[in-house]
Structure 1
Amino acid sequence: MINFIDKLQKEIRQQIQQIEAEDKNILKKSLDASHVLGEGFDRLKEFIIAYQFQNEDEEILFFKEVKPKIFCHLIYYRKVYNIEMHRPVASVEAQKEYLKKKLDVIQDFNDKILDFYRYYRSGATYLDAAYFVRGQPDTEQYLETFYYERDPQFSTNADFKVAKIMANDMLQAYLLSELELLDNYMQKPSATSFPKVKLTWTGSKTDLIELIYALDTEGCFNNGKIPIIQIAAYFESIFNIDLGNNIARNFYDMRIRNQPTPFLDRLREEIRKRMENTKPGGKDKDNDKK
């Protein structure tokens, strides 16, 4: 078992490090990482279902330490993706309120499993057989919503709780760092510095959101290190337009259209035509009336 798990963890770690090093936005990174971890988790599940633990101690070791260390990263990246997907494109204060509510959710979860939380954090082991051996009745008052849907061959009463505690630790650090970035952004003089001459966007809001996501995906601003919410806020200011409080929802709706990128497709076609109709020297052939 150890050899298989060590090899699997090494493969996952290398792929995640590669994803984190890529010049992509957080949505793309978290989605790609979720796919890698999901595939790895499926491989782990397939192996364990076919594996016979040598003794109870080995089973406890797997469900208390091994599985949660992999599962927690899958939970974390999926949470980050969902948080950023629904993060409001509004004032910095609105964003801070949104992120603080996510921190409150973490605390609420810890409060609901307080007895187990204290047991796990203390490093205790006297209830490990009840928590981390399969087939044991769950006497906890707080059950996960999917309790009756989980695979009894690959789950115990508490392995998910451990994974979520670990994921929440990482998520809490992420949320606090995002709040700090917003605080720093508010303190910079350039935070509200926009061009004096503004243009008015006369296309549709959806077209502009499509363009913003394309530019962000390509990493066109500060090598992709500017949050898309700040890019959207800048575009709103210079183009005199209100894109609403949740462009992520618009983006989700755009993904399921029959033609996902009509504006970008149209831009490409129009610029191609213009290039074909432009004579040396920069004059349009169609406007040459000589």
Structure 2
Amino acid sequence: MNTYKRMLRALEEQLKDIETPKTEIALVAPQGIRLVREVLHKMRERVCHEGFTSEDSEKQFFKHIKPQVTSRLIYYVRLMDLENRRPVSHDKAQRKYLAGHIEVLQRYLNAHSDFYRYYRQGSTALDHVYFLRDRADVFLSTEAIYALEDSQFSTSHDHMAATILAYEKLIVYLVHELDRLSPGAGVRQLKSKLSWTASKASLTELIYALHSGEVFNHGQADIREITSIFEKFFDIRLPHVYRAYAAIKSRKGQRARFLEELIFRFSQKMDQDDSM
């Protein structure tokens, strides 16, 4: 299982490198599709050749590892289609187009609300049905077709899990595009009276720490999504968050200075409170 996790982490790093704010979607999506397909091919070969050491590892792979990879493939393919069909006329037509697609994506999530809640809440009671192979005949639905076509590398619900992750990411992208066409709309909804008065490097530390802790969307939210929310909430710009993270990693001595200072101050406060 560690091998698959390393493959996933390596893919995520590669995708971060191509998903820069200045890179056109028309260039990002084809590169992303190529990278994801290569990883899926390698994973399939390994799974078919070696199998799994236990049912638990099989469930782990098809519930968490494969869906994260497949979701990026679905995301890039749908994103290319959305952008290729996007109106080139005035903003009003574009907003209507984007809002319509958000509704379509949300409709899918609503139609599969039972499984959506099960997956997002981290439930496990039906994992033996949803995420073990050769169980596709239990659910003779459209989603189970993938398992019937490729029973060695699919389960009845791993593709649905991937679709959920992809559609959530697409909705975030479309909402961001809507906000871009209606300047300030998203900011007005999220903007706080609080101001971030520490450095941007400190905020970058916090963002990456939260991402590493997998505290948002059960670990499925990426750096760009988290950064976007912080930017809107605090009305601050972090255009070079990946570069800032690289600078933090290159520090000598204490690298997570801000986080370590927070831990020290919080511990100090608790000690002071106890002494009162």
Task: Call closer, same or farther: CA 1:148–1:21 in 2, change over 3 Å.
Answer: closer
Alignment partners' CA distance in 1, 2:139 and 2:115? 8
Structure 1 unaligned segments of length 5 or more: list them.
187-290
**Which residue in the other structure is 1:160 paired with?**
159
**Which residue in the other structure is 2:53 paired with?**
54
Task: Call closer, same or farther: CA 1:152–1:74 in 2, change over 3 Å.
Answer: same
**Which residue in the other structure is 1:89 paired with?**
88
**Which residue in the other structure is 1:133 paired with?**
132
Give 3-state SS (helix, strand or coil) of 1:126's partner: coil
Contact 1:112 1:142 in 2 (8 A): no
Alignment partners' CA distance in 1, 2:63 and 2:32? 23
Supply the AA of the counterpart residue of 2:9.
Answer: K
Alignment map for 1:33-48 (pairs within 5 Å): 33-48=32-47
Cα deviation, residue 134, structure 1: 0.5
**Which residue in the other structure is 1:6 paired with?**
5
Task: Call closer, same or farther: CA 1:97–1:41 in 2, change over 3 Å.
Answer: same
Equivalenced residue count is 185
Contact 2:136 2:147 in 1 (8 A): no
Supply the AA of the counterpart residue of 1:50.
Answer: H
Cα deviation, residue 149, structure 1: 6.2
**Once the two structures are superposed, what CA deviation does each residue of 1:247-280 show, in whole Å capped at 9, x if it has no partner?**
xxxxxxxxxxxxxxxxxxxxxxxxxxxxxxxxxx
* CA RMSD, Structure 1 to Structure 2 (Å): 2.2
**Which residue in the other structure is 2:28 paired with?**
29
Supply the AA of the counterpart residue of 2:122.
Answer: G
Give 3-state SS (helix, strand or coil) of 2:87's partner: coil
Task: Call closer, same or farther: CA 1:96–1:146 in 2, change over 3 Å.
Answer: farther
Task: Call closer, same or farther: CA 1:23–1:100 in 2, change over 3 Å.
Answer: closer
**Structure of greater relative contact order (alpha carbons < 8 Å, 6+ residues apart):** 1
Quote the sequence identity (%). 34
**Which residue in the other structure is 1:258 paired with?**
none
**Which residue in the other structure is 2:108 paired with?**
109
**Which residue in the other structure is 1:263 paired with?**
none
Give 3-state SS (helix, strand or coil) of 1:184's partner: coil
**Which residue in the other structure is 1:68 paired with?**
67
Alignment map for 1:119-130 (pairs within 5 Å): 119-130=118-129
Contact 2:67 2:159 in 1 (8 A): yes
Contact 1:30 1:77 in 2 (8 A): yes
Alignment partners' CA distance in 1, 2:39 and 2:86? 28
Cα deviation, residue 140, structure 1: 4.3
Cα deviation, residue 86, structure 1: 1.1
Alignment partners' CA distance in 2, 1:137 and 1:25? 39
Contact 2:29 2:76 in 1 (8 A): yes
Contact 1:113 1:142 in 2 (8 A): no
Supply the AA of the counterpart residue of 1:176.
Answer: V
**Which residue in the other structure is 2:234 paired with?**
none
Structure 2 unaligned segments of length 5 or more: list them.
186-276
Alignment partners' CA distance in 1, 2:158 and 2:9? 21
Task: Call closer, same or farther: CA 1:145–1:139 in 2, change over 3 Å.
Answer: closer
**Which residue in the other structure is 1:177 paired with?**
176
